[in-house]
Amino acid sequence: MQPYLDLLADIMANGIDKRDRTGTGTRSVFGRQIRYDLAAGFPLLTTKKLHFKSIAYELLWFLRGDTNIKYLNDHGVTIWDEWATAEGELGPVYGAQWRNWRGPDSTSYDQIQILIDGLRNKPDSRRHIVSGWNVAFLPDETIGPRENAAAGRMALPPCHVLYQFYVANGKLSCMMTQRSADCFLGVPYNQTSVALLTHMLAQQCELEMGELIMSFGDVHIYRNHFEQVELQLSRQPLAPPQLRFKRRPDSIFDYDFSDFELVDYQAHRHIAGKVSV
């Protein structure tokens, strides 16, 4: 977990204090990258305990192409509730773009299936891309998330905007590009989610684990999280857990939460922090 902790320390020491959309204020740096060897362990944070169930169900929700919070709520996950309409709608956020990207002639493109087909049939391609940044559906910044969702736009624009995958020597690596990264609350979830996705893709495509590279644009710590970050930086990281699968489903769209097993996950106590909406 040291790359993540080094990034936290970098922001605290070298960041610029900035205003932000939520009014909370941040300390921010621009253009950073961290790397993990996924064969050496699963990058689930150990300096504070994370709720892996929420992370995994959110990814399964993305892969369903779902954009209503009912599926999440049915499984006890509430991380998207603040931005949803009364009917639970979020507009065409991640799942819609991953599974149902709309072309100019209204053709639907399943980016995840296209990705898997490419990894299996053309592993050396440089086009193993999944994008969430669909300009046609970005929110109107003059109104709130719920109003945007009700109007058929994204409640929030995607933070993790681009995934690029790379196959070499029978190993699958992923570089995820994130335009905006809440380093205390969001990044631990993001790196766990993309690592889980990479493991799933590797199992489906019969590949071994390579690297996870997280590339950040504006990576920041909210001002109301400074004390929590200092507490986290005072803790000694523990050995990372391992991720195992209990079965190999026929499709990446057929995984259940019960298919995932975390082995030897030990972590320091959870550190709470308020989400800035």
- Given 159, 174, 183, 205, the catalytic residue: 159
* Residue whose tokens read 């639907």: 108
The phi, psi pair for 244, rounded to 5°, reads -125, 150
Token pair in block for residue 235: 């803790």
3-state per-residue secondary structure call for 87-150: CCECCCCHHHHHHCEECCCCCEECHHHHHHHHHHHCCCCCCCEEECCCHHHCCCCCCCHHHHHH
Rounded Cα distance between 65 and 34, Å, is 28
State yes or no: is 159 an active-site residue: yes
Helix (H, G, I), strand (E, B) or coil at 277: coil
Rounded Cα distance between 133 and 156, Å, is 11
* Residue whose tokens read 């009364």: 86
Chain-centre distance of CA 187, in angstroms? 7
Rounded Cα distance between 5 and 31, Å, is 16
* Residue whose tokens read 């002639």: 105
Catalytically annotated residues: 159
